[in-house]
Structure formats: C-alpha cells, structure tokens
Structure 1
Amino acid sequence: MRRARSTAAVLGAGLLGLTIAGCSTTPFGAPVKPAMTPAEAGAGYLSAARVAALAAAVPPPSADGSTEQAADRAASDRYRVLEGGDRWLLATAHAELRPELARQHFDCALGVRFQGQATPRLTLLLQRVMHDANEAAEQAKARAFRPRPVGVDPDRPACQRVTAASRASASYPSGSASVGAAYGEVMAAVDPAHAQQAREIGRQIGVSRAVCGMHYDADVKAGTDLGRATAREIAATPAFQDDLKAARAELAGVRRTGLTNAGCTAEAATLALPLP
C-alpha cells in the first residue's frame, strides 16, 4: 500500500522539477545536441588507443542459460514493482546525462544548486569525460551482444522514450552507468569534501538504469567499473588537471550564492528505499 502522500509528490514538485525533469524527451539512442562542438570540447581526454584498451578490459557478459543470466533476469523482474513510484521517478531524472543538465544530479551531494549558474569549464570537463566513458562502453558493447530487459520484453515500459531500434540495441556494459560513475569520480575530484556523496550519486545513476528496465544488474556493474577506470585514466592527464582547477573555481562561485536544491530531502528518502 502506498503512503497517502508519497515522496513521489515531493519529487514531482522538487527534484524532478530541478532538471529538465530528467524527463528526457529525446528518444534513447537518438543524437543529442552536445554542450559544445567536438572542436570546442576537444573531444575526450584520452587517446583512441587508451579508450580501446579500457573497452578491451571489460569482461564478456554471462552466457545464455547461465545461472548468472538467470539471476540477472530475476532481479530485473523484481524491479517491475518500482514502475511509477518514487525510485522510478528518480531514475527518470537520471536518464538525462547531457553535461549542462546532468551536473544538477549532484546538487544534493555537493550542497549547491547548479540550475541557472554558469559553469562553462565544468560543463566542458563533463562533456569530455562523457565522450571517453561512453565511447569505451560502446566499443565494449560491439564485442558481444546482450539484449536489454526492454528488448527481451517489448511491452515493458521504460522511464524514457525508446524506439524499436533502441529496444533492440546492446545492453552490456551500460554506457549510462559508465558515464554516471565517471561523472561521480570527477565531481568527487571537483569537491573532495563531498567525494563520498558524489561517488554514490554516480553509482545511483547506474542503478537507475536497472530500475528503468534498460539494463541488467551485471550491465550496470560492468559499466560502473568501466566508468571508474576511465576516470582514473582521465585524472592523470594534464588537460584534465587544468580543467579541474577551473571547475573548482566555478563551484566555489556557485556555492557563494548560498542556493540549495529543495528536492534534496525527497532524493535522500528515495535513495534510502530498499530495492526489491
């Protein structure tokens, strides 16, 4: 039985209202307008060879008919009870990973309000990180095909708009989990005082993909591991260190506004809910 007034009501007015409502109206798999052109963003931080090496290090998915695959599918089936509830709404917000909007996923972790604040160097930094983390995941996906939960069950709802082609696309590893984890590592570096909280939000972005039926737990774990490995490589580059200094200065400016996100209580309550 649902509460008379659920956290979802607060999320609808607060957390989901803060970002594009994460309602990502862009169909999954469709091209989105980047925060800046590749020339402006300098593409990624890593060379093509380093990205390829990261992708090659991802272990293959579990075999068809294996106990691992059965456990993944059973867990995914249990997540169906979350559809339309508080955690589902948060997962809907987490579906938005464009840097100028995804930075807002870290409002509560860092104790700030990014909406309406200019952070061009932070946005550039996230854009370049997204490039590397997503590219590594896409290359890993190309090595072995595993269908998505929404592909196995074409009638299963997703927390974002999906096309027939995106339902049929590869699930392992999760590119969104890779990007989310990499974002979490980067935000931890931008604000070391809130590193643990930033990393947890990065991880939860990946968990949201399983809640949404877009990925299985193993896809999320592999993507999260890949994102963290990618972030470690990125952190060693001089270009990242230069951008990091500028991003820290921008965060200090955002913090001086004294603004915080009204949805943080709702977010905390939702993340505290146990998964089925």
Structure 2
Amino acid sequence: MQQAPATLFAITAGLAAAAAWAAQGPAPSPMTASLPAQGYLAPAELPDAASLLTPPPAPESADLARDRAAEQRALALRGSPRWELARRDADLWSPEATGALSCAAGRTIGPATTPRLDALLRKTAADLGRVSAGVKQRYDRDRPFEGNGQPTCTPEMEPGLRGNGSYPSGHATIGYGWALIVADLLPVRRAALLARGRAFADSRRVCNVHFRSDVAAGMALAEPVVARLRRAAAFRADLAAARAELAAAPTRPSSCGAEQSALALTRKDPA
C-alpha cells in the first residue's frame, strides 16, 4: 500500500478541499481533507447525520462495556492476518484502495481493470466521508489507541488521527457505502459484497483506531448517503457506464483465499 497518511493529511489537494468545505459546512477531518474535493452531492444535499445517530455510549453504560470488550478482542489480533487486512483496508487513497471489494465481487476492481467504477467510487468517497464531519466535532470522542496506549495497524496515520473525533467512523461509512454501490451493480453478489463492506468497516476496530459503536454509526450513515446518490443524475449516468465495464472485468483475483482466511478470524465476533 502506498503511504497515504501524514503526508496526505497535511498537503495535496486536500488543502483546497478544506478551504471549500470550511466555507460551506463543518471543517473537514484529517481523513476527509485528503479525499476528492468534490463528490456528486452538494453539502446541503447530504443527510443530517446528527438527526440519524444517537450519541456515543455513555460512561458506565452497557454499550460502553461492549465497546471495551470488543476493543480487547481487537488488541488480541495484533500481528495476525486479520490485522494485516485491517491495515490494507485503511487505505482510501492508493491505486489499490477500491480493490478491497474485488474478492467479494468476483471481479478485479481497480484503475487498470475498471477505471470508470474506480473513478466513481473515489468520487463518492467525498460524499460518504464528509457526512459525519459535524457529528465528529460535536462529540469529539477519543480514539481507542489514545486511551489504551497500544499501537494501531497504521502508525504513520496516528498523528492525523489524534484529536480527531472517533465517533462515527468515516472509513466505515466509505467502505460500507462502496459495498452498497457495487452491490447495485452485481445483485447476484450482494450478500458477499455487504459482508465484505461490514468487514471493511470492522477493520477500523481491529486496527485500534475506532470503537465498535463508532463503526456501527459510520455504517448507519452509508445507506442514506447512497440513497441520495441514487437520485443524482450524474451518479446514475456514471453507474450505468460502470455496470457494463464491471461485467467485462477479469474474474476471481488470486489473493482471495488469504483474504477469506483473515476474515474468518473475526467472522464470529459478537456484534
């Protein structure tokens, strides 16, 4: 994976995106500042995340206890194949990023094999990633690694994540949103794609950068964003072009066995 992190958090096209967003809505997080400057939706067209989500778990609550238990299970995975997959799933920027759904799709997704779909997914990352900006600022929840002092699967990203709200997970919104979009293109693979989208989201817990409830909240925002994307004429046109392209894409990536073995380590983890 290419190194996206501290460099992209601080420089690149994200600076222009930050200025534009600051003029129209909540300031972007380090992650969203390095996403594409423009998605398919205007800021005013995004769902109101604050009205869709409850607050993060309260101190001493049963939900917080479940978060803490899930945090400990994640820490036990450090160095495992599932930990390595979580590291790869943290990548939203490199040419390999959209390929996370290749095994579930049964098609090799990426800029070389499915350039139109790759471009569409990267553009939707702006919409999916920015929907939670205001809620993150409102709750300003510390991330797991800030409290437990343990490593994350992406240490190079930690400087940009410190002080950036943990609730909800923007990565989870993007990963699950991408799965919903590709499932629209391949309904016969829908179950596998949504399962991979949930696992992509849960990689943030495995990585020690988000709590279980952060991930669930991030996923909950994906569906209303994708619903609004489906009504956008430009998105529908790009989706139609991507559908034909995906049907002709190469089948069955070679690394799927390793991915399935890694995912099996958390498949029965309690929700």
Structure 1 residue 26 corresponds to structure 2 residue 18: no
1:189 aligns with 2:184: yes
Q: Quick check: 1:215 aligned with 2:210?
A: yes
Match of 2:256 in 1: 264
Q: Between the two proteins, what is the percent identity of the paired residues?
A: 33
In the TM superposition, residue 199 of structure 1 has moved relative to its aligned partner by 1.4
Q: CA deviation at 1:115?
A: 5.0
2:224 to 209, 229, 232: 229
5+ residue gaps, structure 1? 1-19
**One-letter amino acid of the counterpart of residue 30, structure 1:** F
| 2:138 paired with 1:159 | no
Counterpart of 2:115 (choices 107, 112, 120) is 120
TM-score by length of 1: 0.81
Moved more, 53-62 or 212-221: 53-62
Amino acid aligned to 2:253: N
Structure-2 separation of matches of 1:59 and 1:135: 18
Q: Distance in 2 between matches of 1:159 and 1:178?
A: 19
Q: Secondary structure at the match of 1:97?
A: coil
Q: Displacement, 1:249?
A: 2.0
For residues 1-276 of structure 1, what are the structure 2 equivalents within 5 Å? 20=1, 24-27=3-6, 30-31=9-10, 43-51=38-46, 53-98=48-93, 100-114=95-109, 117-153=112-148, 155-160=149-154, 161-255=156-250, 258=251, 260-274=252-266, 275=269
Distance 2:47 2:105 in 1: 32
* Shift of residue 42, structure 1, vs aligned partner: 8.0
Per-residue deviation, 1:55: 4.5
The answer on whether the counterparts of 2:4 and 2:91 sit within 8 Å (CA) in structure 1 is no
User: Which structure is higher in RCO with an 8 Å CA cutoff and minimum separation 6?
Assistant: 1
Specify the code of the residue in structure 1 equivalent to 2:130: E
- In 2, distance between residues paired with 1:31 and 1:238? 33
- Residue 71 of structure 1: CA displacement? 2.3
- 1:52-110 CA distance string (max 9 Å, x none): 52454222112233232232122202211100001101111101123743221111111
Is the contact between residue 111 and residue 118 of structure 2 (CA under 8 Å) also seen in structure 1?
A: no
**Gaps in structure 2 of 5+ consecutive residues:** 18-35
Asked if 2 retains the 8 angstrom alpha-carbon contact of 1:34 and 1:98, the reply is no
RMSD: 2.7
Q: 1:26-60 deviations in whole A, cap 9, x for unaligned? A: 2398157579x98xx78222232232524542221
How far is the alpha carbon of 1:228 from its aligned partner? Answer: 2.0
SS in structure 2 at match of 1:108: helix
Amino acid at match of 1:262: S
Q: What is the count of residue pairs matched by the alignment?
A: 249
Q: Work out whether residues 95 and 110 of structure 2, in 8 Å CA contact, stay in contact via their aligned partners in 1.
A: no
